[in-house]
C-alpha cells in the first residue's frame, strides 16, 4: 500500500472499519505521521461525542452500509501528496478534508439516529395497524357468527350495553352506547362471570362513550359478564359494585 493511500484511511480507522492487515499497516504509519495521528484523535473524539447523542442502536444493516461507504470513499487529495507535488503547505486542503470527514461522520450518525427512529416509528405504526385490523376481523367474525347470541342491558345514566357471544368461536364482543366518562383516574373494566368468579376481560377506552370491543380471553364456561369502575390500568378482581351483570343468552 502506498504512503499516500495510508493518509486517506484516518476516517475508516477511527470507525474501526479497516481489515486487520490494513489496520496494522496504518498503525505503523501513525508512528511516523503526526498529522494523521492528530486527525485520528480528533475524529475519534468527534465520533464519541456524536455517539453520546444517539440513544437508539442502528440496525446492523445500516451500520455495515455506513462503514462500507466510509471505508471505500476517497477523501480530498492528501496533504503529503500536495506538498510533494507543488511544494505548498496544503493546510487548506488538509483542514477541509478533516472538516468534510467530520461532517460526514456527523451526518452518518445523525442520519442513523433519524433513520432508526423513522424505521421504528413506521414499524410501530405498521404493528398497531396490523393489530387493529386483526382485532377488527375477529370482532366482525364474532358479530357475524351463525351461532351469535345477543344480550342487552342498561348500564348507567341512560347508557346501554350489548354482549354478543359465539360459542363456536369461543369469543364474546361488547358494545356500549352513551356510556359517560369514568371519574378521573378510573376506567371501565369488563369481566367474564365464571359461576360467580369474575375473570378480567379487558378495559374500555375512557375517552369514548360508544365502543365495540372484542372481550379479552375465551368465553369457555362463563355464563355471563359484568362491568365495573376500576383504577386506571384495571384490577385483578372487581373492587366496586358492578354497573351491570348480564347473563349470556342460551
Q: Is residue 143 part of a domain?
A: no
Contact 198, 237 (CB under 8 A): yes
Q: Does residue 31 sit in the same domain as residue 113?
A: yes
Q: Check pLDDT > 80 for residue 79.
A: no
Do residue 89 and residue 157 come from a single domain? no
Tens digit of each residue's pLDDT (9 = 90 or more) over 136-161:
788 888 888 899 999 988 888 888 89
Residue-number span of the structural domain to which 164 is assigned: 149-247
pLDDT for 40-70, tens place per residue? 777 766 555 554 444 455 556 655 665 666 5
- DSSP bridge pairs for 166: 171
Closest C-alpha to 202, from 220, 190, 186: 190
Same domain, 77 and 165: no
15/108 same-domain check = yes
Residues β-bridged to residue 153? 161
Residue 140 domain-assigned?
no
Residue 70: inside a domain? yes
Considering the domain boundaries, does residue 41 fall inside one? yes
| Statement to judge: residues 18 and 78 lie in one domain | yes
The answer on 111 and 37 residing in a single domain is yes
**Within a domain: 131:** no
Both 15 and 50 in one domain: the answer is yes
Residues 25 and 60 both lie in one domain: yes
**Crossing angle (nearest 10°) for helices 60-72 and 91-143:** 160
Domain presence at residue 116: yes
Same domain, 97 and 157: no
User: Which comes out higher in pLDDT, residue 215 or 131?
Assistant: 215
State the total domains in the chain: 2
pLDDT band for position 246 (cuts 50, 70, 90): very high
Same domain, 175 and 241: yes
Amino acid at each position: 500500500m502506498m504512503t499516500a493511500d495510508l493518509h486517506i484511511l484516518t476516517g475508516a480507522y477511527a470507525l474501526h472499519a479497516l481489515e486487520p492487515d490494513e489496520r496494522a499497516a496504518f498503525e505503523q504509519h501513525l508512528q511516523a505521521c503526526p498529522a494523521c495521528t492528530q486527525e485520528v484523535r480528533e475524529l475519534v473524539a468527534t465520533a464519541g461525542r456524536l455517539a453520546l447523542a444517539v440513544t437508539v442502536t442502528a440496525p446492523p444493516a445500516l451500520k455495515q452500509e455506513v462503514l462500507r461507504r466510509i471505508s471505500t470513499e476517497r477523501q480530498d487529495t492528501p496533504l503529503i501528496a500536495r506538498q510533494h507535488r507543488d511544494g505548498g503547505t496544503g493546510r487548506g486542503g488538509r483542514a477541509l478534508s478533516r472538516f468534510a470527514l467530520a461532517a460526514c461522520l456527523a451526518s452518518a450518525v445523525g442520519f442513523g439516529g433519524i433513520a432508526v427512529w423513522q424505521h421504528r416509528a413506521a414499524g410501530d405504526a405498521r404493528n398497531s395497524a396490523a393489530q387493529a385490523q386483526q382485532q377488527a376481523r375477529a370482532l366482525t367474525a364474532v358479530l357475524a357468527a351463525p351461532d351469535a347470541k345477543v344480550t342487552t342491558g342498561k348500564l348507567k345514566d341512560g347508557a346501554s350495553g350489548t354482549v354478543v357471544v359465539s360459542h363456536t368461536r369461543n369469543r364474546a364482543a361488547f358494545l356500549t352506547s352513551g356510556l359517560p366518562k369514568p371519574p378521573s383516574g378510573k376506567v371501565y373494566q369488563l369481566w367474564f362471570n365464571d359461576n360467580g368468579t369474575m375473570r378480567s376481560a379487558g378495559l374500555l377506552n375512557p375517552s369514548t362513550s360508544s365502543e365495540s370491543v372484542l372481550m379479552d380471553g375465551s368465553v369457555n364456561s362463563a355464563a355471563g359478564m359484568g362491568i365495573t369502575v376500576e383504577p386506571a390500568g384495571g384490577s385483578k378482581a372487581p373492587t366496586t359494585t358492578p354497573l351491570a351483570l348480564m347473563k349470556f343468552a342460551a
